[in-house]
Amino acid sequence: MKLSNIIEDFINEMLKESVGGEIELQRNALADKFSCVPSQINYVISTRFSPEKGYLVESRRGGGGYIRITRVASGDRSMRLMHVINSIGVQIAYGDACAIIKNCYDYDLIDQDMAKIMVSAITDKALPVKQPARDKIRACILKNMLVAVA
């Protein structure tokens, strides 16, 4: 069996055993476990755990960095939400976030009450920090709310 397949199986097993279908990995630790280079881990994650396959992947670089993989429930609605989530990026302005929420409501991906809650959670008033941190936090909150309803 190829190393890529072994790594994929290991990650899938971790996801099965996880609570909520979400895991956090240390890229270097995983590379050490499988005696490979970290770029091999990147390859497996980017090719086997993509949004099109129903996964949300977030990463933070640096010494305390991690890779978070979230499995999203399957279905047409979930896949549309995954595409929305992946279009958000690392940061998002309030107006752009509201437009995304409105589109999700217009396409029946979320109901009116959820749309109101989402807008309330991402206002500048709800995020009393300075830019650019505010737009980064707003993006994280919006992504996580959409993952929760996917």
Average pLDDT over the chain, rounded to an integer: 89
Chain segment 19-78, per-residue pLDDT in tens: 878 899 998 999 999 999 989 999 999 889 876 677 888 887 766 678 999 887 666 788
Nearest to 100 by CA among 78, 111, 114, 85: 85
Cα separation values, 44 from 41, 59, 140, Å: 5, 14, 24
Q: Give yes or no for a contact between 105 and 115, defined as CB atoms under 8 angstroms apart.
A: yes
Which structural domain, as residue segments, surrounds residue 20? 3-71
- What is the separation of C-alpha 24 from the centre of its chain, rounded to a whole number of angstroms? 11
Strands, DSSP E only, in 82-137?
none
CATH assignment of the domain containing 113: 1.10.1200.150
Q: Are 81 and 18 part of one and the same domain?
A: no
